[in-house]
Structure 1
Amino acid sequence: MPFTWPLDPQDLFAERYPQMTLALPAAEVDAVRAAVTEMWPDRPGGWVYEWSALAARHAAAGRHREAAQAYGWAKFPSLADGPKRTALARQVEQYVLAAPGFPVEFERRSLTVPYRGGTATLPVHLMAAPGLPADAPVLLASGGVDSWKADLHGVWEQLALALPARLLLFDLAGTGETAHLPMTPDGGAEVIEGLIAFARTIGNGTVGHFGISMGGYYSARSGLSGTVDAAVVLGGPVERSFAPGRGFAFGMDGIVGNALGFDEVPGRAEREEAFAAFDLRPLLDLAVNAPMLVVNGEDDVHVPRHDTLVFAGRRATRVELVPDTGHCAVSRFGEAMALIVPWLRLALIG
């Protein structure tokens, strides 16, 4: 069952402010920041209440895209209780209402993929530049444990308009609209393998994978195993992030604990046992990887620098650390995308 945990909302504002202001005016974010005094209660001063109030104002004015972004922050950082799940449902509703105004082709559909001897169904979004030919490459893309497909719309829109590829956007197992499936190394990867198989049927057969944060763990896995034709890892944990003794910052213990399916914040022994299975060292020891681009900020508090630099010297692999920025280079995101977009264009079409 999902759980709440002690969390100071002002810590989240301190860490996520650059991300919040990518899609919402700073003045609006500042107003919510000043109003929020507690994390979980759904009442004035509560995180979900104040963000939802902003979202409702945008929705009432017909600004559905902004409403979807604000509801995205209302349900952040985890679907730990009923108000958070309600905020996610409202985000999806507003996002679908906004879709006719997107400058890209957009389709929302449900896909059924193999999962643990049976099947699992999850909503996905397909996005492409207007008029993109049907026989274009396909790029799988996802965020991480707390920023999901609708939250990162601006990133996907930028990619879709810049690349001759169709994007297949999804939430990782244990998160967002795929929260009904616990996040495990193999189970999460099996879902993605099903999405890759589908992607090979809707384009020219070429498939790439772009993952952000924990999504980067799975894109690293796809790239290292050669399951895709190209992989971009932005801020992905791969090895030392899962080592014994690693701690968490900014509430990530509860966020990750919920994604992994725990009923409460896991203790150290439980966490280390769960994390040991994620270590990608067995794949790092192979030399069968697809072309890969691995990027992160130099000062990441969540993912050790080692987990980026460990890719240095691999065949067909480029490694970049962006200076003076942290996790996923979010405060210098334009510079990260300036590396990623041309690399993907070349990797997907040659």
Structure 2
Amino acid sequence: MPYEFPVDHHALLEERTGQFLSFGLPPKDLDELRGSIDSMWADAPGGWTFEWSRLAAKYAAAGDHLLSAMVYGIAKFPVLANGSRRQALQNQVAQYIAAAPEFGVEFERRILALPYRGGDVRVPVHLLSGGRPYAGAPVLLFSGGVDGWKMDMHPLAVAFARDAGLTVLAFDQPGTGESPVPLDEFADEVIDGLIATARTLGNGRVAHLGVSFGGNFAVRSALTGAVDAAVNIGAPVRAAFERANLDRLLYGMSDILGNAFGFDAPPTNERTIEAARVFDRGELLQRHGNAPMLVINGADDVHVPLADTLVFEGRPNIEVHVIPDAGHCAVTKLPELIPLMTAWLTRQTD
């Protein structure tokens, strides 16, 4: 079961302000919430989930279902460690579906049965398309990381469906959101199943875009040649999993990872290091013949060492962009980077 952990909610809110504003949250509402919240975990007035959910319900009552969904997404942040956060996720799904007619693209929610550990597992996904039949378009696998999930990435998903002519298959990476499996040594099986599904869903061309930890899976997809193209936004790849980096993680990230790994209590550093080692893609970096990849991250990332971005410089068919004056995943600059990513994906999937 997920677990709660000590975290400074003031510092966490400050660190994520840019991300939350990118969801469309009015700054005045954020300022009001900043003064209302006095606990990260209490399910009562002043509690993080309680206050954010109250704001989301206000937006829902006013008919702004998409903003309500985005704010329920903040209410569940950063992990589903208690009943109120799990309820916030259910509310987010309901509001997101209610908002779908206003997306400006076609939307479908599906439950996929994917091969997993000798059986199968049911994985909820969202399909967004610009109106072309799925069979006539390339498919883009798309996920966020350990604390920003498929619905939280909505503006990016819509942009790629609308502007790149792709069918976007959005999913929660293992260990997060609606994914039923943990982030462990079997997680790659889920990605392989999604790639296979995408091959048959669309015209046979498949790309994979991952944000933050989701980019780790996109890197694997590109380095193994499992997809035709990949976009890695701020992925931990190798240096991020070294002890020195794991020991210095900020804003509760160590325990956010611990929840994703499937731990039921704060892990020791040794357990975290052991669990993270599975996702060190250093061995794959020794291979040749990778699929084309676009790599983006902020120059001032506090979670992922710059080395994990620069390691791709000089490799064939890989384009690297380090964005100045930007933090983890260059999240505050992503709206400006959408045209770059859209144009690149269009070239690679034509």
- Same fold by TM (over 0.5)? yes
Q: Deviations over 1:220-274 (max 9, x none)?
A: 0101110000000000000000012322111101111000001112111111111
8 Å Cα contact 2:134-2:203 kept in structure 1: no
**Residue aligning to 2:92:** 91
Distance in 1, Cα, partners of 2:15 & 2:101: 32
Question: How far off is 1:295 after superposition?
Answer: 0.7
The answer to whether 1:10 aligns with 2:10 is yes
**Residue aligning to 1:58:** 59
Matching of residues 78-157 of structure 1 within 5 Å: 78-131=79-132, 134-157=135-158
Distance in 1, Cα, partners of 2:102 & 2:311: 42
**Residue aligning to 2:225:** 226
Distance in 2, Cα, partners of 1:127 & 1:89: 20
- Aligned-residue RMSD, C-alpha: 1.1
Q: Deviations over 1:65-110 (max 9, x none)?
A: 1111111000000001111101101111111111122100000010
SS state at 1:245 partner: helix
Question: How far off is 1:338 after superposition?
Answer: 3.2
Distance in 1, Cα, partners of 2:221 & 2:236: 14
Q: Which runs of 5+ in 2 are unaligned?
A: none
Question: How far off is 1:337 after superposition?
Answer: 2.2
Q: Deviations over 1:303-325 (max 9, x none)?
A: 00000000011111111100011
8 Å Cα contact 2:183-2:260 kept in structure 1: yes
The answer to whether 1:173 aligns with 2:169 is no
SS state at 1:134 partner: helix
**Residue aligning to 1:307:** 308
Distance in 2, Cα, partners of 1:18 & 1:273: 32
8 Å Cα contact 1:291-1:317 kept in structure 2: yes
Distance in 1, Cα, partners of 2:341 & 2:27: 26
8 Å Cα contact 1:132-1:165 kept in structure 2: no
Distance in 1, Cα, partners of 2:337 & 2:306: 16
Q: Residue type of the partner of 1:243?
A: E
The answer to whether 1:213 aligns with 2:175 is no
8 Å Cα contact 2:208-2:218 kept in structure 1: yes
8 Å Cα contact 1:329-1:336 kept in structure 2: no
8 Å Cα contact 1:141-1:210 kept in structure 2: yes
275-284 or 124-133: bigger deviation: 124-133
Q: Which 4+ stretches in 1 moved above 2 angstroms?
A: 130-134, 334-339
Identity of aligned residues (%): 50
The answer to whether 1:262 aligns with 2:252 is no
Q: Residue type of the partner of 1:303?
A: V
Question: How far off is 1:133 after superposition?
Answer: 6.3
8 Å Cα contact 1:298-1:305 kept in structure 2: yes
Question: How far off is 1:130 after superposition?
Answer: 2.7
Matching of residues 14-29 of structure 1 within 5 Å: 14-22=14-22, 23-29=24-30
The answer to whether 1:204 aligns with 2:203 is yes
Number of aligned residue pairs: 347
Distance in 1, Cα, partners of 2:336 & 2:219: 21
SS state at 1:95 partner: helix
Question: How far off is 1:339 after superposition?
Answer: 2.4
Distance in 2, Cα, partners of 1:227 & 1:101: 34
Q: Deviations over 1:99-158 (max 9, x none)?
A: 122100000010010011111101100001134563111110000001111111111111
Q: Deviations over 1:1-51 (max 9, x none)?
A: 210001111111111111111121111111111211110001111100100
Distance in 2, Cα, partners of 1:322 & 1:37: 34
Q: Residue type of the partner of 1:240?
A: A
Distance in 2, Cα, partners of 1:108 & 1:143: 17
Question: How far off is 1:297 after superposition?
Answer: 0.3
Distance in 2, Cα, partners of 1:77 & 1:133: 33
Q: Which runs of 5+ in 1 are unaligned?
A: none
SS state at 1:167 partner: strand
Distance in 2, Cα, partners of 1:171 & 1:20: 18
Q: Residue type of the partner of 1:74?
A: A
Q: Residue type of the partner of 1:189?
A: D
Q: Residue type of the partner of 2:232?
A: V
8 Å Cα contact 1:295-1:336 kept in structure 2: no
8 Å Cα contact 1:219-1:231 kept in structure 2: yes
TM-score, normalization by structure 1: 0.97
Distance in 2, Cα, partners of 1:131 & 1:282: 39
The answer to whether 1:195 aligns with 2:194 is yes
SS state at 1:176 partner: coil
Distance in 2, Cα, partners of 1:115 & 1:48: 33
